[in-house]
Each structure stands twice: as C-alpha cells, then as structure tokens.
Amino acid sequence: MKTYEIENYLTAKNERFDTKVLDCVEEYRIKAVSERNEEQANYFWCLKHIFIIQSGFVSAINALKDRNYEEAWLTFDKIDIDISALEENYWIEEDDDKYNLVFISRMIKEYQKLFPYHHFLSRESIIQAEECSICGKPISFRHPCGHKVGKLYMGELCLRKVTKMELKAVCIVTDPFDKYAFIKIDGKEYNYGMLERLMSEIKSPYDEFYVETVKVKKPEFQNISKKTQCPCGSGKKYKRCHMGKTSELMNHHVVHMQKSNTPVNCFVGNFETWK
C-alpha cells in the first residue's frame, strides 16, 4: 500500500479492520528507522497507533454488544491512554476530525458515564530506580538523559522503565487518570442496566449520543411525608434525617441519541450500582 492509501483507509469509518494495513504501516516505520529518517519513522508510529485506537474502539463497542462489560471498560481505558500518548506527538484537529480521534475520545467519556464503576485502586509508591526506554541510561533528578517522556525518538515512544520501587500503600480513589483497577466486591454483581438499555439503541460504533446527568431522589425517599420515619431505618423522622441531604439523591441519566436521518430521541434511567 502507498502512504496515501493507508491514510485514506484510516479516514474511513471502518467496522472491520485489516491487519495487513497495520503490518504495512509497521514495515514503513522500520524502513524509516533503518534509513535514519526520524520524521517519517515518527509519522508511521502515529499512523500505527491511529489504527490501534480505531480498531480498539470498535472492538470495545462489540464487547458491549456481547455484554463483555469488563473487557469493554479495560479497552476504553487503554485507548484513552493511547490517545494521550498520540496527542503529545500528533496534532489532532478539533474542527477537522480526519481520523475520528476527537469523536472516539468524546464517545469513550460518554460510554464511561454509564458504567457502574465509581471507585478504583491507586498505588502510592516510591520509585527508587528507573531507566530511559530510548537510551537505557539510569535516570535521576540530578542526572537526566535528555529524552523527554511521552515524546517520539526515531519511531519509538520515550518511557521510563522502573527497575526498583517501594510500594507504600494502595488507596481507594474516585477519578484517577488510569481507571484500570476498578473495585470488585465478593458476592456482589455490578448492574449494567444502563449499558444494556443503551446498546439496544446502538447500531453502529459510530452512532453518537451524549449523557445528561441530573440528581433525583432515590425511590425510597419519593412521595413520603417529612413527619414519617426515615426509610433508612434510623428511627428518626424523615425531616430530621435524610430530608434535604445529598445522601437521599442518586444520579439520573438522560441519554440523548443522534442517529443519521432520524430526529434526536432520548431515554432515561437510574439503575443502582449493584444488582
């Protein structure tokens, strides 16, 4: 394939991906490296990862359709990180979304809003020794190697390889950058009701929607008198317990679908986190 043919292929809204295209891009990258053409090597690295991002997004949507929710979540998380790495080295046009990268980044965030995962594990550690993935030199604050993390050098992404680390603690957090380690509880099953409802509307990975989230009272706190006992079981009257507090509220999602050749339609849901 010629370079322009690869670019045209990646411009299309593919629902199936030919790995021969990826192999061809990698061959171009390796050839550019052998010729010491850094600009071309870096460009083909970017095209390679555009292919990976696009194909990963489609595979995540297919996983959702097959109700493989954990697989879809982990794929979305990986794609999100891949896009961040790509943005450091490739200008992504907001107004001219040639490779659908802006669309993919936006839609991942909308899909993630409907997952029941709210708490994640995040490690606290002390990095005692690390080395550069480009030159292999040990890195310290006083002795940097000159290569910048996240930048491309001759078709290779600069990273830091941790060779010695001390784990100090594991924290529970709500909004980490890396959302890979979501919490699972023995004996409890996540409720994927919103995603099940959504996927009955999704016909193509390129269908668009956005989620509007508002706060509403939980069902047990609706239509009760302030003088009755609080449904929480505290023994107090409702007005002296949960009334007017954020703890009586829950997220209520309004999903606005936008399909080609049809008007905007929407549906709502307020599924609990656990079944």
pLDDT in tens, 209-248: 999 888 888 888 989 999 999 999 999 999 999 999 988 9
Is residue 130 located within the same domain as residue 169?
A: yes
Residue 183 lies in a domain: no
Residue 199 lies in a domain: no
Counted domains in the chain: 3
Per-residue model confidence (pLDDT) at position 262: 53
Residue 164 lies in a domain: yes
What is the average pLDDT across 263-270? 61
Residue 185 lies in a domain: no
Of 96, 113, 130, which closes a domain?
113
Q: Are the beta carbons of 60 and 67 closer than 8 angstroms?
A: no
Q: Are the beta carbons of 86 and 104 closer than 8 angstroms?
A: no
Per-residue model confidence (pLDDT) at position 218: 86
Query: What is the biggest distance separating any 2 CA atoms in the chain, rounded to whole angstroms?
Result: 81
- Does pLDDT of 255 surpass 70? yes
Of 113, 142, 164, which closes a domain?
113
Is residue 69 located within the same domain as residue 132?
A: no
Is residue 92 located within the same domain as residue 37?
A: yes
DSSP, collapsed to helix, strand or coil, labels residue 249 as strand
Is residue 98 located within the same domain as residue 128?
A: no
Domain containing 133 equals: 120-173
Residue 187 lies in a domain: no
Is residue 133 located within the same domain as residue 223?
A: no
Is residue 7 located within the same domain as residue 109?
A: yes
- Give the global pTM: 0.88
Which residues lie closer than 8 Å to 260 by C-beta, 6 or more apart?
none
Q: What angle do CA 47, 96, 158 make, to 5 degrees?
A: 35
Q: How far apart are CA 120 and CA 250, in angstroms?
A: 20
